[in-house]
Chain A
Amino acid sequence: MTFDFVEPVVFAVLAIGVIAAGASVVLINRITAAALLMALTFLCMAGMFVLLGAETIAAFQVLIYVGAITVLILYGVMFTKYGDRPYGLFFQRQTPLAAVFVFALAVPVAIWAFTFTAPPPRPGGGDLPSLATSVFTDFSFPFEVASVLLLAAMVGAIVLTKRDEAREFEARRP
């Protein structure tokens, strides 16, 4: 007895998880639930990376997306407290036009996507050695630039959200 059927079954479960949770992020009214469903999407995506044999990317995905970015988004939800809206109110006015446009574009692309085929995969062994070799030889300069970008984003976020205490005090004074 072979276990060849396990991989397609796991893939189907993960694909349903990714697409259903992603669609609920767009359609659900409660914004906290949307943020947690986004985390579920990212988690299912990490499972797909494991299925593809990219364990290191899957670990980064769990650490950065499921950990850091979800927490940031939840903080954003917490700071912008805004009551539940009636269901008709949380879509933009251009919704029908946008839905038709996206659907018309999505169906041919999704059908076209199935035409890709690939040679049989190389024997496994993880992606860490090749990844590390690439990052620290050919891509070492972009790697350093990425760290500068993160520093700039951090400073920018602090400057944007910093309160001008003296001016607020002046404004409050009668």
Chain B
Amino acid sequence: MVPLGAYIAVSAALFFIGCAGVLVRRNAVVILMCVELMLNAANLALVAFSRRYGAVDERGSVFVIFVFVIAAAEVAVGLAIVLSAYRNRPVVDVDEIRAMKG
């Protein structure tokens, strides 16, 4: 029987790994990957609480399904933005994309 705290700790660890990735990496595609890692860490916490604490109807798990939808939409639009920026100038580093800076 694995305690609930262990799941929450894994979730927190993955969330902070993703957070560090968003803050330190330059490549825009890797930043998108790290955002996905953070969303997935939140999913683990939601499912763990929903299965162990929840009432009979699994509201937390329903929320996870909506997070799946948001994640798919986010990665599609994010990659489209990265690709259209890449087409203007072949650069994927976020600190070199300065086209919209004044």
Given A73-B32, A102-B19, A113-B9, A156-B27 contact (CB < 8 Å): no
Q: How far is the CA of A151 from the CA of B82 in the complex (A)?
A: 20
**Chain A neighbourhood of B10, CB < 8 A:** 15, 18-19, 48
Q: Which of A31-73 contact B (CB under 8 A)?
A: 31, 34-35, 38, 41-42, 45, 48-49, 51-54, 56-57, 60-61, 64-65, 68-69, 72-73
A sample of 16 more A-B contacts (CB under 8 A), given A79-B86, A89-B26, A118-B3, is A4-B1, A11-B6, A18-B10, A26-B25, A45-B40, A45-B44, A57-B47, A60-B65, A73-B33, A77-B29, A92-B23, A92-B25, A110-B9, A116-B8, A121-B51, A134-B57
When the two chains form their complex, are residues A139 and B27 in contact, meaning their CB atoms are under 8 A apart?
no
Q: Are A157 and B80 in contact (CB under 8 A)?
A: yes
Contacting residues of chain A (73-93) with chain B, CB-CB under 8 angstroms: 73, 75-77, 79-80, 82, 89-93
Chain A residues contacting B74 (CB-CB under 8 Å) are 153
What residues of chain B have their CB less than 8 Å away from a CB belonging to chain A? 1-14, 16-21, 23-30, 32-34, 36-37, 40, 43-44, 47-48, 50-53, 56-59, 61-62, 64-66, 68-77, 79-84, 86-87, 90, 92, 95
Interface of B is mostly: helix
Chain A: minimal CB distance from B17 (Å): 4
Is B72 a contact of A19 with CB atoms below 8 Å? no
